[in-house]
Amino acid sequence: MMMRRIRALALIGPLSLLLALLVPATAHADTATFAKTSDWGTGYTAQYTIRNTGATAMSGWTVVVEMPAGTSVGTYWDALMTASGNRYTFTARDYNRTIAPGAETTFGFTVFGSGTPASCTLNGASCGGGTPDPGGPAATPVAANGQLRVCGTRLCNRNGKAIQLRGMSTHGLQWYRQCVTGGSLDALATDWKADVVRLSLYVQEGGYETDPRGFTDLMHTLIDQVSARGMYVIVDWHMLSPGDPTYNLARARTFFTEIAQRHDAKQNVIYEIANEPNGVSWATIKNYAENLIPVIRQHDPDAPILVGTRAWSSLGVSDGATEAEVIADPVDAANIMYTFHFYAASHGADYLAALSRAADRIPVFVSEFGTQNSAGEGANDFTRSQQYLDLMASKKISWVNWNFSDDFRSGAVFTTGTCAAGGPWTGTTRLKEAGAWVRERIRTPDDF
């Protein structure tokens, strides 16, 4: 947080809040139906038919299928495909991404082997429509909760139930891309039982500004990979130096326009539009947010957006201010939350009290925290960290821990060399003390 070199939601207006509480959220029960179109014994061709069963247009789609061992996908058409082990993710092409109410589209592929898909999700929900069976292969955080929204001061699922997400943040993708692999994401989803992954895209410090096309494509790929595992994904615009978010406003418009256009149909995307503003006033941050949020909303009207707060997202506390400045002058936008970051060994009772007070007045999301000092270094303060976690559990404040890498600092969960070796990612044998501590707390799920 403070001076850290390595390592974004206003209250809903009275009328919109009333409507959000009284009108149940609607969700398509769209379907994706599998069929073999030819079979030659050692393989076959297959087709999925995606049907929009809702009353509004479907703008984009993602189908994720799990093939059994010994069966693989070869060529494909009318979709884009990525693969991770036996999991295949198909996304819409430009010409078939929009499906009118009652209409359908198809895509196909060839298969080597005789097995048929063991599981299938469409935009994070069961391909058969409706709610997946509890405990089934699609019973992921996204399948259980669907599209999230801000209700009052809390983050709520599609049924209006306040929930708490728990998960991990990557380190800077320009340095630690090798720690974010199919295997490590599988471990987060199944061994750590994480609900959310924060993808940290630095803007400066060798990040986005050095290769906008390359880093945007990387984010597309990683968003799809996290989505394929049924977790929520935070797209973190990790501006840190300089601390004025308006310095990168033009870049942010370009980046978030493409991200929102490509992933608007997903139910699991959360946008964090300014990691840690610093050295600027709340008025400057607010103005930045009110300029950028409409850019996202033009393409993705439903996703929660996280707004950074003053003084390294400390709600102003690190500059001697309090959460009162945000409460008195909130961002003029709905379905947003304000971020708070803390590092337990540096940020004591005054920070903890500010978080507690703020969470009763405005929607807060802890999008980054550590058990060490504000540089992510030094000894762990697990006692203070647990005080924060207990508070966040009691007030349903979602949190993400920094960081999922093998950096030499104590705040990185893996021992040095783990990522280069390709794991092992599961269990605790390659975890540092902080990694084992936070993994155990992520594994205790919220009551979805």
| pLDDT digit string, tens, across residues 178-211 | 999 999 999 999 999 999 999 999 999 999 999 9
Fold of 31-140: Immunoglobulin-like (2.60.40)
The band of 23, judged by pLDDT with boundaries at 50, 70 and 90, is very low
For CATH 2.60.40.290, list the domain ranges present in the chain: 31-140
Residues 6+ apart with CB under 8 A from 434: 370, 371, 372, 380, 410, 411, 413
The band of 128, judged by pLDDT with boundaries at 50, 70 and 90, is confident
- Select from 60, 126, 117, 65 the least CA-distant residue to 91: 60
Long-range contacts of 407-411 (CB under 8 A, 24+ apart): 407/6, 407/171, 407/176, 407/376, 409/6, 409/372, 409/375, 409/376, 409/377, 410/372, 410/376, 410/377, 410/378, 410/379, 410/380, 410/434, 411/7, 411/370, 411/371, 411/372, 411/376, 411/377
Residue 368 falls in the annotated catalytic set:
yes
Q: Is the predicted pLDDT of residue 11 greater than 50, yes or no?
A: no
> Residue 314 to residues 2, 256, 279, 343, 401: CA-CA distances in angstroms?
9, 24, 12, 10, 15
| From 272, 276, 323, 325, the catalytic residue | 276
Architecture of domain 14-19+146-442: Alpha-Beta Barrel (3.20)
Who wins on pLDDT, 225 or 130?
225
| From 272, 323, 325, 368, the catalytic residue | 368
For CATH 3.20.20.80, list the domain ranges present in the chain: 14-19+146-442
* pTM of the predicted model as reported, rounded to 2 decimal places: 0.76
- Select from 176, 172, 178, 222 the least CA-distant residue to 368: 172
Residue 104 falls in the annotated catalytic set:
no
Is omega for the bond preceding 277 within 30 degrees of 0, making it cis? no
pLDDT on residue 57? 85
